[in-house]
Structure 1
Amino acid sequence: MTFFRFFALAPVTLFVPLTVLILANEYTFARASRRTKDIAYVNADYPDYDAERHRLDVYAPTDKVVLGRPVVVFIHGGNWNSGRKSLYAFIGRRLAKQGVVAVVINYRLSPDVEVPEQADDCARAVRWAAQHISEYGGDPGRIFVMGHSAGGGLAALLATDDAYFTKLGLDRNPIKGAILDDPAGLDMYDYLQKMEYPDDEKYLIPFGKDPVVWRAVSALYHVDARTPPMLLFVGERTYPSIARSTRKFSQRLKEVGVKYEFTELPRKKHIAMVTQLFWKKNIIYQDLLRFVAATQR
């Protein structure tokens, strides 16, 4: 999983291009959206409440109020130990511009918590959307999750493992589909057993040392006939491990009869798979809008 070796420098590598995009975005037509920022999705009196990480931003279209818009909850990447929602404002604005209510979230990071707790946070953000998104014009019956890199792995996990919502008191998984953009961590059980690269031990910090946990947080092993439809995107020049695990995941979806689409984007590397989302005509948006049945605006 060579992308893990690269991502030791990911915070700096991601920060510069994304910051430029954010600044430019503030002065483009993507401002045709309404942002409600820093909404707490965990009650402040909860023992694990984090005032910074348990926050989300909602981006809603500013045109004539239309109720029942599709909802996309975006989960950022960053190697499970970095990243924040503000870096991905351009995705929220682009989605809102095209008729989708977007929810861009923070979640707690390693080393403060491990991946199971991160997935718990993401599930709580989705639950918040199910309970409150109608206040922003969204349809709680059409909630989709989307993520890039580590966020893609978390999105896949929530879509395939209903237990994250059962323990929150929900009688069903509210996720209707998932959009996975160069997802990482779909099969950490396999990866962490191999330890192919010299610095791989650092991934025992977010994932722990128990193989039972590695398997539990790997979406591949939760896929069954009840899994919702998915869009999978992978860059032609992404890290070999991501390409392999995404294809393995798509094959599992096929085996159990889950509806999915797999698209390899020519010449794209891992970081470009998310920065390309600055442009609203991007193929990922085109496929996403069709997938969630949004109206192009």
Structure 2
Amino acid sequence: MFNKSEYWIKQLNDTMGNAKDFIRDFRIYDVGSYALNQLTPREGYTLHENIAYGLKARHRLDLFKTHKPQLNQPLIIFVHGGAWTHGDKSSYRFVGEAFAREGYDVAVINYHLAPQYIFPSYVDDLTLALNFLSLHQQKLAIRTDDVVLMGHSAGAFNVMSAVYHPQQYELQCRAQIRAIIGVAGPYHFDYKGDPLCAEAFDQSVPFQQVMPYYFVASNSIKHYLLMAENDQIVGHNNTEDFDRVLKEKGNHSKMIVIPRTGHITVMGSVSSLFSRYFETKEQILISIEEALKP
């Protein structure tokens, strides 16, 4: 005999399963980024898309050239987040525009994603992009004499790991990195079995052999660690621990809490559409100006 109750329970379970798959593959920030990019102004900068910095498919970057160049033009390199499994530079036009309109050239890079590519491949990609930009600065009409690395979430891990890594990378611009700006970054956590990012790391390798926290060395780089006040994804202890070890090594480090933001909205709030309502963009600009002072 047909049981309506069992039928609807099965339908509900199937729907819930499909919903979980949908949520996993279609993150809420895709909607936000798409909307922001559609509304992002097109004037004030020139966009050069899909510049190949290497031979593989995702070795691509977008370069935003400001229409208000400074005397000694700095370069910002931005690395997106997405738990190392998700995300694309095309979703971050609003970041390039936000800082190009303030007089900075901005490179927004893609990198290879898990589970096909795991640590340290995405950090390798970043270092490849940095060396490409240094080698081709004349052709691209950019300067890498004053470099600012900036990343959000997984991207913040990547920019820190380019400098603090188990094996030091050969970075042509290492001595020219003036600042590293990490936004809601995970710098010190155990990824074993982590539901969001376990597949981005070799689970047989202890996190102590991977996290940038364990490889901090003394240098002259200025570090600005931004935290979202209401971050429910990356714990504040990541930033607090990293700030402490940077200072223990004699490095400059400044923690900045951005009020009224969460893990995703802290990055979205740099958009020219919303930056007047939040402190994020202003704090980043203040940090860059401070770092570039002679």
- Give TM-score, length-normalised by structure 1: 0.81
Any residues of structure 2 matched to 1:72-87 within 5 Å, and which? 72-87=76-91
- Give TM-score, length-normalised by structure 2: 0.82
1:122 partner amino acid = L
Q: Secondary structure at the match of 2:235?
A: helix
1:67 shift after superposition: 5.6
1:285 partner amino acid = K
Match of 1:56 among 41, 47, 61: 61
- Contact 1:66 / 1:137 at 8 angstroms: preserved in 2? no
Provide closer, same or farther for how the CA distance between residues 150 and 240 of structure 1 changes in structure 2, counting only shifts above 3 A.
closer
> 2 CA distance for matches of 1:205 and 1:138?
36
Match of 1:181 among 180, 183, 207: 183
1:180 shift after superposition: 0.5
CA offsets per residue over residues 89-144 of structure 1, 9 Å max, x none?
11111111101110000000011110201100011111112222344443212111
Q: 1:234 aligned to 2:227?
A: yes
State the Cα RMSD in Å.
2.6
Match of 2:270 among 263, 277, 280: 277
Aligned to 2:154: 150
Match of 1:260 among 247, 253, 256: 253
CA offsets per residue over residues 36-87 of structure 1, 9 Å max, x none?
1110001xxxxxx322x10001101124x55631111100001111100000
Any residues of structure 2 matched to 1:91-130 within 5 Å, and which? 91-130=95-134
When the two structures are aligned, how many residues end up with a matched partner? 267
Asked which structure has the greater CA Rg, the reply is: 2
1:12 partner amino acid = R
- Contact 1:234 / 1:264 at 8 angstroms: preserved in 2? yes
- Contact 2:82 / 2:153 at 8 angstroms: preserved in 1? yes
- Gaps in structure 1 of 5+ consecutive residues: 1-7, 43-48
Q: Which has the higher contact order (CA 8 A, sep 6+)?
A: 1
> 2 CA distance for matches of 1:221 and 1:107?
23
Aligned to 1:205: 199
2:223 partner amino acid = M
- Gaps in structure 2 of 5+ consecutive residues: 1-22
Aligned to 1:287: 283
- Contact 1:153 / 1:183 at 8 angstroms: preserved in 2? yes
Provide closer, same or farther for how the CA distance between residues 135 and 260 of structure 1 changes in structure 2, counting only shifts above 3 A.
farther
- Contact 1:70 / 1:293 at 8 angstroms: preserved in 2? no
- Contact 1:182 / 1:235 at 8 angstroms: preserved in 2? yes
Higher normalized helix content (fraction of residues): 1
Provide closer, same or farther for how the CA distance between residues 90 and 201 of structure 1 changes in structure 2, counting only shifts above 3 A.
closer
Q: 1:245 aligned to 2:249?
A: no
- Contact 2:61 / 2:108 at 8 angstroms: preserved in 1? yes
> 2 CA distance for matches of 1:171 and 1:157?
15
Any residues of structure 2 matched to 1:1-20 within 5 Å, and which? 9=24, 11-20=26-35
Q: Sequence identity of aligned pairs in percent?
A: 24
1:14 shift after superposition: 1.0
- Contact 1:181 / 1:232 at 8 angstroms: preserved in 2? yes
1:234 partner amino acid = M
Aligned to 1:38: 50
Q: Secondary structure at the match of 1:103?
A: strand
> 2 CA distance for matches of 1:123 and 1:164?
11
1:192 partner amino acid = Y
1:98 partner amino acid = E
> 1 CA distance for matches of 2:65 and 2:244?
35
